[in-house]
Amino acid sequence: MLREIKLILSILGLCALGSALIIPVHADLPAPCEYYGGVTLFGMPAPAGSVVVAAINGQERGRITLQLPGQYGSTCIFGTHLKVQPTEEEYANEDILFIDFFVNGMKADESSVYHPGVIRWQDLTVTRVPTPVPTPTEDPLPIVMFNATPRAGYAPLQVAFTDLTSAGAGSWSWDLGDGTHSGDQHPAHLYRFPGNYSVNLTISTSSGQSWLRVQDCIQVVEAPIQMFPNQTSLPTDPDNDGFYEDLNGNDHIEFDDLYIYFSSMEWIGENLPVNPFDYNLNGRVDFDDLYSLFLKI
């Protein structure tokens, strides 16, 4: 009887031991997929210490640090590899799990598909050039342009110049063609005598100089002059400034000329070019011209 009891206890003990040896298995978590291979950054081996990250759906699922330049993971099958471990949910819910690789935060050109428990060689290359940081560049040289109004007319001719150069100009240097220069941006100039005048505008910026020269830009024609009413001589320009002040033609500026001007204002407008008699440059014969003439007596 005792022997039977011992036998039963032995059997029960073996069963208990067997029960204790049953290892719980979590079959839901899939085995990781493992990678190793070369790493190239912009054509050069990635330096040791570089970090390769594997991601599934944008979430990190594994990482490894390079121990050697240009290589991640051990080439030995039993060595350390980049282990990519999806979550249970990912594995259960998606048929195909794509793996993206990042080297030092930069996405590699290659991607892979997760296979449980597989160890595979996968070279990684980063060839995309990062967006260059804009660096300050020198201003381009300006393209010089200008306009002149009027371009032609009787002497003396008042011309207004307009600088039309693209922005960024630093300083202006005008050669107005008759020995006159100006540093204004939009100069005005009186061409006193007939002739063709070539105009040059040079613009200086921090980048350098640009210029534009217009040949025969301004064409000034001699005004046709005739005798004033009741006079026997042609008017003259005694002070040689381009304006005709000596209206009776005796080579002197005097009160008689003032009187002739006053009594002929309408006649001048109708019979002569205004320019030689428009002393105040306002484009017409007026009482201010009379005053200007008075000041010259």
Burial track 129-142 (b if 16+ CB lie within 10 A, e otherwise)? eeeeeeeeeeeeeb
User: Judged by CB, which is closer to Ca ion: 163, or 246?
Assistant: 246
User: Judged by CB, which is closer to Ca ion: 108, or 253?
Assistant: 253
Least Å distance between CB 141 and Ca ion?
A: 42
Can you spell out the DSSP letters for 85-129? ---HHHHHH-S--EEEEEETTEEEEEEEE--TT-EEE--EEE-PP
User: Judged by CB, which is closer to Ca ion: 100, or 286?
Assistant: 286
Among 239, 269, 271, 287, binds Ca ion (CB under 5 A): 239
Indicate whether 233 belongs to the interface with Ca ion (CB under 5 A). no
Least Å distance between CB 198 and Ca ion?
A: 26
Indicate whether 243 belongs to the interface with Ca ion (CB under 5 A). yes
Paired tokens of 10:
């032995």
User: Judged by CB, which is closer to Ca ion: 29, or 297?
Assistant: 297
Indicate whether 278 belongs to the interface with Ca ion (CB under 5 A). yes
Indicate whether 292 belongs to the interface with Ca ion (CB under 5 A). no
Least Å distance between CB 255 and Ca ion?
A: 9
CB 263 within 8 A of CB 230: no
Residue 174: φ, ψ to 5°? -100, 135
Among 237, 258, 272, 275, binds Ca ion (CB under 5 A): 237
- Write each residue from 136 to 155 as x if it is in contact with Ca ion (CB under 5 A), else as -, in one continuous string: --------------------
- Write each residue from 24 to 53 as x if it is in contact with Ca ion (CB under 5 A), else as -, in one continuous string: ------------------------------
Q: Is 207 helix (H, G, I), strand (E, B) or coil?
A: coil
Indicate whether 289 belongs to the interface with Ca ion (CB under 5 A). yes
CA pair distance 249, 246, nearest whole angstrom = 5
Residue for token digits 């990678």? Answer: 35
Q: Is 8 helix (H, G, I), strand (E, B) or coil?
A: helix
User: Judged by CB, which is closer to Ca ion: 147, or 226?
Assistant: 226
CB 163 within 8 A of CB 174: no
User: Judged by CB, which is closer to Ca ion: 104, or 250?
Assistant: 250
Least Å distance between CB 262 and Ca ion?
A: 14
Q: If binding means CB under 5 A, how many residues of this protein chain bind Ca ion?
A: 15
Question: Stretches 27-35, 105-113, 169-177, 233-241: which one binds Ca ion (CB under 5 A)?
Answer: 233-241
Residues 246-275 contacting Ca ion, CB under 5 A:
246, 248, 250, 252, 257
Q: What are the beta bridge partners of residue 119?
A: 34
| Selection from 120, 52, 54, 56 nearest residue 89 by Cα | 56
Least Å distance between CB 296 and Ca ion?
A: 8
Indicate whether 158 belongs to the interface with Ca ion (CB under 5 A). no
CA pair distance 65, 77, nearest whole angstrom = 18
Residues 120, 80, 47: CA angle, nearest 5 degrees? 90
| Cβ-based neighbours of 189, under 8 Å, separated by 6 or more | 158, 159, 161, 176, 180, 182
Note the residues at the interface with Ca ion (CB under 5 A).
Answer: 237, 239, 241, 243, 245-246, 248, 250, 252, 257, 278, 280, 282, 286, 289
